Amino acid sequence: MSASDNASERTLNGENRSSIDTVDLYTVLRVDREATQNELKRAYRRLALQHHPDRNPRAAGRSGEFVRIQYAYDVLSDERKRRIYNRYGELGVQMAGRVGGELLDPLVSNMLSTVAFATAIVALLLITFFALLSRRIDHANSWPYSIIFMPLWTMDVVIFAALIWSYFKTPVLQSHDDEDSESVHLEEEEACVESAFGDSQTDNMPATDATPLLGARNSQSAPQPPLQQPRNFNRRRQRLRTARKYVETCVSKLATAAPMLYLLLLVAFQLLLVLRLDGYVDWSIIRIAAPWLGIETIHFVLLTLQLTAGL
């Protein structure tokens, strides 16, 4: 166990607990609450050199000060613990290590609150829509269907805003993962080439002194495999890898645009259905359901490309 873990464990077990609970951890490290990780690291190194018993003989009798500095850095250098500490204090950090402590993370709690709020809004809009629709079907009112569908269109606007927000908030993927996967593919292909052609090259090696003369003559007279065969194999593998990468790129782009396409086609289907129900157009069901068929077509193409990329 490292010195950092020992210091944290001693602190949580009760050593200098009262002093840590009463002193802000940012004050212990002498940094602001908005300090970056580099600033925290520099402050910790500076204070550790001053208060470490092995580095500073004058601090040998003040080990508690170094324990407080070590504990403060352990908490504030961890992004999750720092978020919990900023909201709930040192008691929240202690509770985070227990069962259910994940809920104390502000990111998790905010996400759960957002999901609960969105679910409540969607449920309210759906209940309102079906209530209005049932009264319209029972001839309790003569409102046009354009008003009956207002809750659905409100929900469409909310979903559209959420999609736009998610597109702008989505982080740009780094190319390191692609390079790592590419190197893994290259290593696998090299292993395949070696396993495919290694045996044939070994069989056609010149005979040693221990090889019988007849065997040596047979091995020399045996036809040598063409040198172009491994190169052709590598070219085929390269073309296959290029095609697979192209399919994966198409799948990624289509999967990114699919939610927005689904929403636009769904809104178009709702508009055509309202126009048909209110008597503004006299189109057939096939024409009304064309946007819905477009949704099914996009979904089928996306699943087909995903299946092709997985082969």
User: How many CB atoms are closer than 10 A to CB 182?
Assistant: 13
pLDDT band at 1, cuts 50/70/90? very low
Show the tokens assigned to 29: 């490290």
Show the tokens assigned to 197: 């052609």
**The listed CATH number (1.10.3720.10, 2.60.40.10, 1.10.287.110, 3.20.10.10) that belongs to domain 3-100:** 1.10.287.110
Reply yes or no on whether the pLDDT at 189 is more than 70. Answer: no
Reply yes or no on whether the pLDDT at 2 is more than 50. Answer: no
Contacts of 50 (CB under 8 A, 6+ apart): 56, 59
Buried b (16+ CB within 10 A) or exposed e, 39-57: ebeebbeebeeebbeeeee
Cβ-contact 255, 243 below 8 angstroms: no
Reply yes or no on whether the pLDDT at 216 is more than 50. Answer: no
CA 134 to chain centroid, in Å, comes to 42
Cβ-contact 283, 232 below 8 angstroms: no
Picking from 275, 294, 293, 291, the residue whose alpha carbon sits closest to that of residue 283 is 275
pLDDT band at 271, cuts 50/70/90? very high
pLDDT band at 199, cuts 50/70/90? very low
Show the tokens assigned to 242: 């290029």
Domain locations in the chain as residue ranges: 3-100, 107-169, 228-311
Amino acid 67: pLDDT: 81
pLDDT tens digit sequence for 41-84? 888 888 877 777 666 666 555 667 778 888 888 888 888 888 88
- Between CA 20 and CA 64 the distance in angstroms is 10
pLDDT tens digit sequence for 122-151? 999 999 999 999 999 888 888 999 999 999
pTM to 2 decimal places: 0.53
User: How far apart, in Å, are the Cα atoms of 128 and each of 116, 119, 133, 161, 162?
Assistant: 18, 14, 9, 21, 21
Contacts of 241 (CB under 8 A, 6+ apart): 185, 189
Reply yes or no on whether the pLDDT at 276 is more than 80. Answer: yes
* Range list of H helices, 52-175: 63-76, 79-88, 90-96, 106-137, 145-148, 150-169
The enclosing H or E element of 197 equals helix 176-203
Picking from 128, 29, 25, the residue whose alpha carbon sits closest to that of residue 84 is 25
pLDDT tens digit sequence for 222-241? 554 555 556 676 777 787 77
Amino acid 58: pLDDT: 65
Amino acid 110: pLDDT: 79
**For 85-99, 263-277, 291-305, which range has the lowest pLDDT when averaged over its residues?**
85-99
